[in-house]
Amino acid sequence: MIEAGHERACWPGRPAAEGRKPLRRELETPPPVSTPLDDSVLFNDTEARPDQPIINVDALREHFSREGRLTTAQVHRIVDAATQILTAEPNVLHIPAPITICGDIHGQYYDLVKLLDVGGHPSETRYLFLGDYVDRGYFSVECVLYLFALKIAYPQNVFLLRGNHECRHLTDYFTFKLECITKYDEMLYDLLMLAFDALPLAAVVNKQFFCVHGGLSPSIQTPADVDKIDRFREPPSSGPMCDLLWSDPSEDYDESVSTDSYDHFQHNSTRGCSYFYTFAATCAFLERNKLLSVIRAHEAQDSGYRMYRKNPTTGFPSLITLFSAPNYLDVYNNKAAILKYDTNVMNIRQFSFSPHPYWLPNFMDVFSWSLPFVAEKISDMLGSVLSVVTEDELKQELAQGPVSLTPGQSPGLPSIVLPSEAGDTAGGETTTEEALVSDKDREARREAIRSKIMAVARMSRVFSVIREQHESIVQLKGLYGTGQLPQGLLAQGKAGIDAALQDFKSAQQADKPNEAMPPRRDDLEITSAVTAMRLGRRGSTGACSSTDNLLLAAQLQQQQQLGAAGSADSPDSAGADAPPSIATAVISLDSEMSEPADQ
């Protein structure tokens, strides 16, 4: 683990003497833990120690911090227990204050540990996480297992909502499924998908704040509408469940002036699904349900948080975005933030990233990563072998003149007798031929060697360029977490690749294509069928029938989407919570350097 490492100055072969400059520095980092935790350490005997939680979360935290792993039976036990607890919870949680609300984690385990240090131990602090615990980072398994362990140990203090990445579609497209298979097995992945299906969708905090991962939906008029959703499934690509996980505030949220209800929700072109909701839509939702603000995650923020335009009725920000993954993807250079709320005081706490162990992109092994480097070095070796005959040696050889192999011309050299092409002469004597190197032959030899040397040199340079570009591209693919680069990036050349991730804005812009919902397999089949029909490449009658069925399914899906959008104008649902008294909260901002008293 990097945090535990320290530098040790030394001379080669003996300790460093006081006052003398060391020749080199060695960084001591302990290797990952090779043995799993014993059951007696990980799980507490609640009968013998009823005051202790069922799982030792502190031991698990330290074990994961040292890159340790658990046994298959242990991870299955944790996931099964957490799934049972989550299944018993409603779609909408009702949580009192005080509470600490956290945004996206995205597999950054060491930053999750820092978050809990900043926010307080879960045994004494109530937490609400807004989803997106996995993908993009390389410690997603550790994040999920640790959060599930906290949920098991402190079920009334730790609450977990579902994010858009807690699904099969995105975890297969990004890195989480590969991580599960690399570190454990696919059975763990399947169990975690069932656990994700059980995650609640939203929460109402202190009867004042509507908390959700993405945002609002035209089909959701009250929090009670969320309870009507069947959440125990894969999130669909449209509808209220999709909107809660995928929607975003409109780009002109702080400047929009339209009050027309028709403009409250617009198609979300960035995500490729769901909607953009406007300031007017948020204010209407808050006023309808007598709430103070909407708190959500789902978008990276340079400062770790963003407070949007104030509601004119209450004077409080109508929308707050939290993002709790500092230095997102190791390139955003952003801060993270959490929100501590207690007795009408809202305290925003920021913190920076923590060092973490390094993984090769997409969990690549060192042999695949090093192949371009090995090819470059082999070409260098081949070039060195062919370069043994130097230019000076060639000139010296040419200056010596033709080499004669005539018998007797050079003392000590044997005679070479070759059979005559015409056979023996009449006298029975054999003829000898002189092997002379002509000027043309010498020049051809010289050019051949020169061509080989130049070819190997060019090949070496090509391998060098390929290796450098390969490392940059694989690194970028790993940072994006998809194994793919944004469209058009390679066309920009080396300069474009090097400048792709310079600061938060450029990193966010480069990563924008990966924020959209990946295409689903059935969508790809429909698109392929439509393209085939347009090109007139119809096959057999059976193929045409299958294509027609796909098109019919696409039309039905579009009609369902239109019907869901039209339900936004439906009257308010009954059964809303009693209107709470709304008090204006006091907002304070503290960085990680200042340690204010816990509220």
Q: pLDDT by residue (tens digit) across 235-287?
A: 999 999 999 999 999 999 998 776 666 679 999 999 999 999 999 999 999 99
For residues 88 and 85, what is the distance between their CA atoms, to the nearest angstrom?
5
Q: How many residues does the chain have?
A: 599
Task: Say if 515 falls within a structural domain.
Answer: no
Give the pLDDT of residue 179: 96
* Residue-wise pLDDT tens digits, 514-529: 788 887 765 555 455 5
Asked if residue 12 is part of any domain, the answer here is no
- Whether residue 536 sits in one domain with residue 437: no
Task: Identify the weakest region by mean pLDDT among 316-330, 356-370, 477-491, 505-519.
Answer: 477-491
Q: Is the pLDDT of residue 449 over 70?
A: yes
86 and 125 part of one domain: yes
- Torsion, CA 31, CA 37, CA 38, CA 43, rounded to 10: 160
User: 216 and 111: one domain?
Assistant: yes
Q: How many domains does the chain have?
A: 3
pLDDT on residue 447 = 77
CA dihedral 125, 131, 136, 140 (to 10 degrees): 60
Average pLDDT over residues 536-546: 41
C-alpha 143: how far from chain center:
14
* pLDDT (0 to 100) of residue 543: 39
pLDDT (0 to 100) of residue 554: 47
pLDDT on residue 4: 41
The catalytic position among 63, 165, 213, 264 is 165
Same domain, 201 and 110: yes
d(CA 132, CA 483): 19
Helix (H) or strand (E) holding 350: strand 345-351
More confident residue, 587 or 326: 326
For residue 55, tell me if it sits in a domain.
no
What per-residue confidence (pLDDT) applies to 504? 62
Distance, in Å, from the CA atom of 496 to the CA atom of 298, rounded to the nearest integer, reads 28
Closest CA to 76 of 187, 152, 232: 187
Tens digit of pLDDT for each residue in 202-211? Answer: 999 999 999 9
pLDDT of residue 9: 38
Task: State what percent of residues in the chain have pLDDT above 90.
Answer: 50
99 φ, ψ to 5°? -160, 150
Predicted local distance difference test score (pLDDT) of residue 186: 96
Give me the mean pLDDT over the 444-451 stretch: 75
404 and 266 in a single domain? The answer is no
Least confident of 24-38, 61-75, 327-341: 24-38
Neighbours of 15 (CB within 10 A): 10
Picking from 334, 359, 384, the residue at the C-terminal end of a domain is: 359
Distance CA(82)–CA(104), nearest Å, equals 20
Nearest to 150 by CA among 55, 242, 86: 55
- Domain shared by 400 and 267, yes or no: no
State what percent of residues in the chain have pLDDT above 70: 62
Residues 231 and 279 in one domain: yes
Which position has the higher pLDDT, 250 or 543?
250
Q: Specify whether 289 is located in the same domain as 383.
A: no
Position 107 in a domain: yes
Does a structural domain hold residue 131?
Answer: yes
Most confident of the following: 162-166, 254-258, 551-555, 593-597 = 162-166
Sorting pLDDT into bands at 50, 70 and 90, what band is 530? very low
* Summary mean pLDDT of the chain: 77
Q: What is the pLDDT of residue 278?
A: 95
The answer on 253 and 154 residing in a single domain is yes
Please give the single-letter amino acid code of residue 249. P
One domain for residues 370 and 284: no
Q: Which segment, 5-9, 322-326, 507-511, is predicted with the most confidence on average?
A: 322-326
Q: What is the pLDDT of residue 407?
A: 47
Amino acid sitting at position 15: P
Same structural domain, 173 and 100: yes
What SS3 state is found at 547?
A: helix
| Distance separating alpha carbons of residues 471 and 278, to the nearest angstrom | 42
CA distance 341 to 458: 64
Which residue shows structure tokens 């869901």?
564
Give the domain range for residue 532: 521-559
Query: Strands 248-249 and 275-277, how do they pair?
Result: parallel
121 classed as catalytic: no
Beta strands in 384-441 (DSSP E): none
Closest-CA residue to 429 (of 417, 441, 442, 443)? 417
Among residues 172, 239, 154, 174, the alpha carbon closest in space to that of 201 is found at 239
Looking at residue 384, its pLDDT comes to: 67
Q: Give yes or no: residues 306 and 403 share one domain.
A: no
- State the pLDDT confidence band at 375, using cuts at 50, 70 and 90: confident
In a domain, 8, yes or no: no
Residue 433 predicted with pLDDT over 50: no
Rounded to a whole number of angstroms, the distance between the first and last alpha carbons of the chain is 33
CA 462 to chain centre: 31
pLDDT above 60 for 5:
no
Identify whether 554 is part of a domain: yes
Find tokens 């045409």 and name the residue: 544
Take residue 81 and report the two structure tokens written for it: 């227990």
Cα 557 from Cα 560, distance rounded (Å): 5
Q: Which of 435-439, 479-483, 544-548 has the highest mean pLDDT?
A: 435-439
Residue 325 lies in a domain: yes
* Contact (CB, 8 A) for 135 and 107: yes
227-262 burial, b at 16+ Cβ within 10 Å, e below that, comes to bebebeeebbbbbbbbbbbbbbbbeebeebeeeeee
